[in-house]
Structure 1
Amino acid sequence: MTVPTADTPTPAPTFYVEADGGSRGNPGPAGYGAVVLDPRTGEALAETAEYVGVATNNVAEYKGLIAGLTAAKALDPDARVHVRMDSKLVVEQMTGRWKIKHPDMKPLAAEAARILPADRVTYEWIPRERNKHADRLANEAMDAGKQGRQWDAASSTAALDVGAARSAAKLAGPAPTGTEESPASAKTDTSTVAEKDTSTGWGGSADLGPPATFVLLRHGETALTPSKRFSGSGGTDPELSPVGRRQAEAAGAALAARGTVQDIVSSPLLRCRETAQAAADRLGLDVVIEDDLRETDFGAWEGMSFAEVRERYPDDLSAWLSSPTVAPTGGGESFATVGRRVAAARDRLLARYAGRTVLVVTHVTPVKELVRLALGAPPESLFRMELSAASVSVVAYYADGNASLRLLNDTSHLT
């Protein structure tokens, strides 16, 4: 896409296009919505929405973009369009700032780019609360699909719900400059965790029922923990130290006092199984093993301190710290690889324990990945989280695909 320079003013747009998509399950029943607006008056000139069957959130968002651009072109083939979406992924990919790696996204992005010449389309990320019209249309489409029918424009109340008479000042603001806002938060792509995850559609005022809640418990200390040595799944399988066993007991007692945990799932590694069993004994529950919750395989670095790795493998360590796709020396796992299997485990657990509170006993990297994916944070955020031994974090997952981080690195039960 051609982005005008600071010295080249962008012509005022003919239309605003606001588009959105959602998936209840990601992937799950999905739909999109788009509205073409007069930038001077805020009047809705065209609305479109469609139930698209089972798809991911991001596929639905792209289809909403395509439908919005198509509707704008139908109104005026020579139109200049300013697209406003709360999908960071779509905005960043369509402006060329992010590469499009996922095979499902590439043809959709190409289709969107063919509708109007690139120099006649600009993009802007907007917060979710400013994209309510398209959001309501998408939800109407998903509701219609649930009833076995397609969205009907005649029965739509989206414009009324968001206020059909939005003022021009509310909509227009400064003329777009071709430089999009830096999104502070946005929906993200759970279809490929190396590029994104997140949170997905939203259900408006619908009663979505109780969320699935993951109480994420990092295992207690082992002999390797105090010296901060790499301890993954590719070396020895250490047991809890005496300190670690006390931590596990304290965590189990605190969780039993809360009385909310209904199921327990653990990494297969010994330190997690011991920590999970301490809670299970208090709660009277069985422990289910989930292999994909195991820690990263750190390859040749297993058992080494950070300083030792830096001394022996300085170039490999620098590369690993700079890219989530780089694996540790000697056949270890990259964070992107770990993220994919953790996301797969998450999805299986969500399907198995819908609406339940599950104690998930695992390791530093899987907990950080689950938090990162819930927040839609970049891979670099893994290096910016503190996660103590036997700490508790909590993520709630709602039926519409939203995730909410409720607690991070709580160690109050250890004091």
Structure 2
Amino acid sequence: MPRLVVEADGGSRGNPGPAGYGAVVLDPETGETLAERAEYIGVATNNVAEYRGLIAGLKAARELDAEAAVEVRMDSKLVVEQMSGRWKIKHPDMKPLAAEAAAVLPRGRVTYEWIPRERNRHADRLANEAMDAGRDGRQWEPSASAAALDASAARTLATPPPSGPPGDAAAGAAAVRAALAASPAAAGASAATAAATAPATAGPASAVLPAPAAEGGPAPAEGSPAAGAPKAGRGWGPADLGPPSTFVLLRHGETALTPQKRFSGSGGSDPELSAAGRRQAYAVAEALAARGTVQTVVSSPLRRCRETAQAVADRLGLRVTVEEGLREVDFGAWEGLTFGEVQQRYPDDLQAWLDSPKAAPTGGGESFAAATRRISAARDRLLAAHRGRTVLLVTHVTPVKILVRLALGAPPESLFRMELAAASLSAVAYYGDGNASVRLLNDTSHLR
């Protein structure tokens, strides 16, 4: 049976924002480019653009040879896992796109493989060309450089994928795999507290945070989801890109509400640290001082974070900068309630919130989708301001989880599959080409 390779990608400069896709059909033996497809699709999300790229690539392969077996290679973990049947498709925007992709060719003749972003450069280039064309008000046309990429494509096909993340990423990656492999919490406190305030019983073994990087690292690559922003979840940055910008993510210490597992966001009271929370802040300050990696301290505007951040900054001899975008989600009418109380009073609203990132808590709360846009914008501002540096972000459960989720390219439901203890440390490194690498998740070794 003849074989073809389809490589596809999509992107959105804003997520959602101006979006486009690219797809290329390759000869699996020679790496020769057999067909290219790209299109500007207007305002859409990264995931929608990626699915549209997949559909275009499959249709192009069918036009070339309707009887061929097709190997699809994409750097979107979401699309690969969903089309392979290993991840359930819950988002209403993804279901019809996945169904359309599945109908292009018989299921038994299409296989899916995840590849790092650096091995998907051809499709990524096409997607960016399409977005540039849309920005300029014109239709995408194949570039004159397409033929020159054939040799590069051949080399890419011959290059095996990396066996795992380089260097000290292994410890953090193991923790992330464990967190995302965990089953969703049973009905009750676990699901809500994973997105709100519940502490975990233990964290991963102690890991060394990345060494501080020199100032003046490379700027994020052109064509990222937002201007100057990383395209989340695209593998690991190559060593020759220079030092990454590293965000050390610290959840604030305990307040009186934390042990009670009550929703505590930005829409209710602004509690101070409890005595236990202050002890936790001092403990993490000592641990970070011993590691000697943090160069800048940035905090959510809420009191519990500012108190935690100040304890660390005082120990490190740094000052605290406040970033409004790092605040916790507003839980609306659920503020101060336990999961059980919310379940009794607002059962339909709670179920909708658990099912869809677009659903907001009762009474004008903030949805996870809205929070993701806000936190992504804050991330982009901080990356632009602190290139190549190690920055401590003192924030809350939801911002930490969203930053980790975006770095992994994981689906929204993964927010309910990560547990973060009070005063726990996580870390994400962002490279100059837009790649992100999760280095650490829920480290509480400094609290023992």
Q: TM-score, normalised by structure 2?
A: 0.65
1:286 & 1:51 partners in 2: Cα distance?
Answer: 47
Cα RMSD after superposing both structures: 4.5
1:257 & 1:164 partners in 2: Cα distance?
Answer: 44
* 2:327 aligned with 1:315: no
Q: 1:228 aligns with which of 261, 270, 274?
A: 261
Over 3 Å counting, the alpha-carbon distance change for 1:201 and 1:380 in structure 2 is closer
Q: 2:295 aligns with which of 258, 262, 269?
A: 262
1:314 & 1:139 partners in 2: Cα distance?
Answer: 43
* 2:193 aligned with 1:199: no
Over 3 Å counting, the alpha-carbon distance change for 1:52 and 1:259 in structure 2 is farther
Q: 1:128 aligns with which of 115, 140, 144?
A: 115
**Aligned position for 2:5:** 17
1:366 & 1:287 partners in 2: Cα distance?
Answer: 18
Give unmatched runs, 5+ long, in structure 2: 130-142, 161-179, 182-223
- Conserved 8 A contact 2:234-2:408: no
Residue 268 of structure 2 aligns to a residue whose secondary structure is: coil
Name the aligned partner's letter for residue 302 of structure 1. E
Residue 320 of structure 1 aligns to a residue whose secondary structure is: helix
2:269 & 2:115 partners in 1: Cα distance?
Answer: 47
Name the aligned partner's letter for residue 232 of structure 2. T
Name the aligned partner's letter for residue 278 of structure 1. A
- Conserved 8 A contact 1:57-1:201: no
1:3-402 to 2 correspondences below 5 Å? 14-21=2-9, 34-37=24-27, 42-46=29-33, 72=61, 80=68, 82=70, 84-86=72-74, 87-88=76-77, 101=93, 118-119=104-105, 123-128=110-115, 135=120, 137=122, 151=145, 153-154=147-148, 156-162=150-156, 198-200=232-234, 207-402=240-435
- Conserved 8 A contact 1:200-1:400: no
2:159 & 2:412 partners in 1: Cα distance?
Answer: 41
Q: Displacement, 1:158?
A: 2.2
1:257 & 1:165 partners in 2: Cα distance?
Answer: 40
1:65 & 1:369 partners in 2: Cα distance?
Answer: 26
- Conserved 8 A contact 1:48-1:67: no
- Conserved 8 A contact 1:21-1:201: no
- Conserved 8 A contact 2:8-2:22: yes
Over 3 Å counting, the alpha-carbon distance change for 1:247 and 1:388 in structure 2 is same
Percent identical across equivalent pairs? 57
Name the aligned partner's letter for residue 199 of structure 1. G
- Conserved 8 A contact 1:218-1:364: yes
Residue 383 of structure 1 aligns to a residue whose secondary structure is: helix
Residue 246 of structure 2 aligns to a residue whose secondary structure is: strand
- Conserved 8 A contact 2:37-2:57: no
1:351 & 1:267 partners in 2: Cα distance?
Answer: 18
1:284 & 1:52 partners in 2: Cα distance?
Answer: 51
Deviates more, 1:310-319 or 1:265-274: 310-319
2:242 & 2:271 partners in 1: Cα distance?
Answer: 40
Over 3 Å counting, the alpha-carbon distance change for 1:99 and 1:85 in structure 2 is farther
1:385 & 1:94 partners in 2: Cα distance?
Answer: 23
Residue 366 of structure 1 aligns to a residue whose secondary structure is: helix
- Conserved 8 A contact 2:328-2:399: yes
Q: Displacement, 1:219?
A: 0.6
2:128 & 2:341 partners in 1: Cα distance?
Answer: 57
1:160 & 1:21 partners in 2: Cα distance?
Answer: 18
1:36 & 1:299 partners in 2: Cα distance?
Answer: 51
Question: How many residue pairs are counted as aligned between the two chains?
Answer: 361
- Conserved 8 A contact 2:233-2:409: yes
Q: Which has the higher contact order (CA 8 A, sep 6+)?
A: 2
Name the aligned partner's letter for residue 280 of structure 2. Q
Q: Displacement, 1:213?
A: 0.8
- Conserved 8 A contact 1:22-1:202: no
Residue 348 of structure 2 aligns to a residue whose secondary structure is: helix
Q: Displacement, 1:277?
A: 0.8
Name the aligned partner's letter for residue 135 of structure 1. N
Q: Displacement, 1:325?
A: 2.2
